[in-house]
């Protein structure tokens, strides 16, 4: 959900040897909410509210040999999350407006192939209004590209439209 809260945040303090805070054994900080000013429930069907960003999407090959090439988590400090925010801003500017309604092109572009290479043939594996999964086979290598409209990206969108972004790209060797 998205909410605007008014209250006080009490962070833990460090004494000579330990952090002293709130909760079990002083482990935590405390947010004392005085009032809720705004509340927006999870009701949009076009947004991906999951936190896994495609991490657990099953591939067809041996899961033991998976190598993650990209994974956009909801921790906003990560490089991949910053890239997704930048992609949203470029889409909002109109420069890549296709990212609002062409998830396959987003998947192909995220592979970052040189221009002289012919675009890959992607197979759509799964599709929902908020997430699409594509597979690209090259010999014995399988690349799974999970493209989604993550809910947290709506905080950075210019309007209501959230761009498709490659949330997870993972590669595996097939037997």
Domain ranges across the chain: 2-40, 63-173
Among the listed residues 135, 84, 76, 67, the one whose alpha carbon sits nearest the alpha carbon of residue 107:
135
Pair of tokens at residue 163: 């761009």
pLDDT of residue 54: 83
CB 150 within 8 A of CB 162: yes
- 3-state SS of 124-147 is EEEECCCEEEEEEEECCEEEEEEE
CA distance 131 to 114: 26
pLDDT of residue 106: 95
pLDDT at residue 1 is higher than 90: no
pLDDT of residue 149: 96
Determine which of 13-22, 29-38, 86-95, 154-163 has the lowest per-residue pLDDT on average. 13-22
CA distance 159 to 56: 30
pLDDT of residue 77: 60
Stronger pLDDT, 150 or 58, i.e. the higher one: 150
* Interacting residues of 6 by C-beta distance below 8 A, sequence separation 6+: 33, 34, 35, 36, 37
CB 151 within 8 A of CB 50: no
Mean pLDDT score, 132-152: 91
Alpha-helical runs (H) found in the chain: 79-92, 103-110
Mean pLDDT score, 41-69: 80
pLDDT of residue 66: 79
Task: Provide the pLDDT confidence category of residue 53 given band limits of 50, 70 and 90.
Answer: confident
* β-pair partners for 31: 9
pLDDT of residue 73: 66
pLDDT of residue 63: 62
pLDDT of residue 64: 66
Q: What is the pLDDT of residues 106-140, one digit of tens each?
A: 999 998 877 666 667 899 999 999 999 999 988 88
């Amino acid at each position: 959900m998205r909410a605007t809260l008014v209250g006080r945040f009490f962070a833990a303090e460090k004494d000579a040897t330990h952090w002293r805070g709130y909760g079990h054994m002083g482990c935590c900080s405390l947010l004392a909410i005085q009032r809720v000013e705004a509340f927006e429930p999870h009701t949009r069907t076009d947004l991906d509210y999951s936190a896994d960003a495609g991490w657990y999407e099953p591939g067809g090959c041996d899961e033991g040999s998976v190598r993650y090439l990209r994974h956009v988590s909801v921790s906003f400090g990560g490089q991949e999350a910053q890239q997704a925010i930048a992609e949203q801003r470029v889409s909002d500017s109109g420069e890549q407006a296709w990212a609002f309604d062409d998830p396959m092109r987003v998947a192909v572009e995220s592979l970052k192939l040189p221009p002289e290479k012919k675009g890959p043939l992607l197979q759509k594996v799964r599709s929902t209004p908020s997430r699409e999964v594509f597979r690209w086979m090259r010999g014995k290598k399988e690349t799974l590209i999970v493209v989604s409209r993550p809910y947290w990206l709506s905080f950075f969108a210019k309007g209501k439209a959230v761009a498709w972004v490659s949330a997870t790209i993972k590669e595996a060797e097939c037997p």
